Amino acid sequence: MLDDFSLWAREEPFDPFSVMLFKALQVVAFLFFLALLAISPDSKEGKIDSKAEFLITMDWPDNHPDDLDLFVQDPIGNIAWYRHREAGFLTLDRDDRGGANDFIVVNGKKIPSAVREEIVTLRGVVAGEYTVNVSHFQATTGKPVLATVKVQKLNPTAQVIFDDTVTLDHTGDEKTAVRFVLDAQGKVVDVNRRPKSLMETFRSTHRNGADRDPKTGVGALAVHD
């Protein structure tokens, strides 16, 4: 009877199942926290930084069957192209062969892509002049092709330093789209369009009978992988 007039609330009956359930939930929450730490470790060791300093693109009309190629040379002679996709800080990220390889396979069927584009990234800075050339590897239409070349400086903010077109009209045709000069800090100090043949660099290597050049990857030009 005294309990009916107590100032303190009556204690609830002890339920061992509820206590065990609560403890189990605590354990699950703790294990979930440990799993999150394991999935997202805050470790810099082995981290790959994919940051690019410059982005160089070349595109031509959608669905065009011709094969155009982008060649980029750095100040110390490294050339990124379809047979040497990584050269110094230069990387050819996309090699587009026109109608020959622009498709994806879905459920065993080839689905064509209309986009015609090649991309080279510059992931570090070497002071000096860079040359961006376009080559007409295979002309199938017999008509001139207009290619648009763009060079963008990405850091610290995106900035277009060149955006213009070149016209190619036969197999083997080569045009210099742009040449730009960087200082040691990666600042663009000059942009010009003076012609410079990179194909002649390859031909000179062949004429001299040299082994595969580590800067250009020259060994064979006839077949486009």
**Dist CA 166 CA 174 (whole Å):** 10
- At 7 the pLDDT is 46
Structure tokens at 168: 């190619």
- Compute CA 146 distance to the chain's CA centroid, rounded to the nearest angstrom: 23
DSSP H helical ranges for the chain: 16-39, 199-207
Q: In what order do the strands lie in the sheet with 174-182?
A: 79-80, 67-73, 128-138, 174-182, 188-192
- At 10 the pLDDT is 44
Q: Phi then psi for 5, rounded to 5 degrees?
A: -110, 10
Contact predicate 168/136, CB 8 Å = yes
Which segments of the chain are extended strands (E)? 54-59, 67-73, 79-80, 86-87, 90-94, 103-106, 109-112, 117-122, 128-138, 145-153, 159-168, 174-182, 188-192
For the chain, what are the domain ranges? 54-207
User: What CATH superfamily classification does 54-207 receive?
Assistant: sav2460 like domains (2.60.60.30)
The 8-class DSSP code of residue 211 comes to -
- At 219 the pLDDT is 61
- At 49 the pLDDT is 44
Digit-by-digit pLDDT tens for the chain (225 residues) are 444 444 444 455 556 666 566 666 676 666 666 666 555 444 444 433 458 999 999 999 998 999 999 999 999 999 999 999 999 999 999 888 765 566 666 777 777 778 899 999 999 999 999 999 999 999 999 899 999 999 999 999 999 999 999 999 999 999 999 999 999 999 999 999 999 999 988 777 666 655 677 788 776 454 565
